[in-house]
């Protein structure tokens, strides 16, 4: 059986990535998280010997640096790259999540057919 994979156009793909970021934000807000300011992020980085991307999340106080609007992600990515020395692109992470949808759905289809 031949399967056709749907792949959205660039504008649609970008809108899906924005929607994914909104979904991700909504999930974290529903779990009680609140945004972490750039000042808090810098402070967390300053107390680490070698800051990693883990500084963006404070699970104890339910704070997360990525709880920002889509348009603020580029600046956050630059700040995280500066603080950690690791290249960081949060918009691209949302785009990657969208690109994984066809693969995820294909696994779901395979698992569903195994049950029938």
Q: Identify the weakest region by mean pLDDT among 3-17, 38-52, 93-107.
A: 3-17
pLDDT (tens digit per residue) in 68-112: 999 999 999 999 999 999 999 999 999 999 999 888 888 877 666
Question: Taking the alpha carbons of 26, 23, 79, 54 in that order, is the dihedral positive or negative?
Answer: positive
On the 0-12 / 13-18 / 19+ scale of CB atoms within 10 A, 64 is buried
The angle formed by the CA atoms of residues 73, 78 and 81, to the nearest 5 degrees, is 120
Domain annotation covers residue 1: no
51 near 83, Cβ under 8 Å?
Answer: yes
| 0.85 surpassed by pTM | no
Q: Return the ∠ at Cα 100 (arms to 38 and 17), rounded to 5°.
A: 45
Number of separate domains in the chain: 1
Domain membership of residue 90 as a residue range: 11-115
């Amino acid at each position: 059986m031949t399967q056709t994979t749907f792949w959205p156009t660039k504008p649609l793909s970008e809108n899906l990535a924005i929607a994914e970021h909104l979904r991700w934000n909504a999930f974290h807000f529903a779990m009680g998280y609140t945004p972490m300011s750039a000042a808090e992020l810098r402070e967390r980085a300053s107390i680490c010997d070698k800051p990693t991307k883990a500084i963006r999340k404070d699970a104890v106080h339910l704070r997360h640096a990525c709880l920002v609007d889509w348009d603020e992600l580029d600046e956050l990515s630059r700040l995280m790259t500066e603080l950690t020395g690791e290249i960081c692109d949060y918009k691209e992470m949302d785009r990657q999540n969208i690109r994984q949808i066809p693969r995820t759905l294909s696994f779901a289809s395979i698992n569903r057919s195994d049950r029938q």
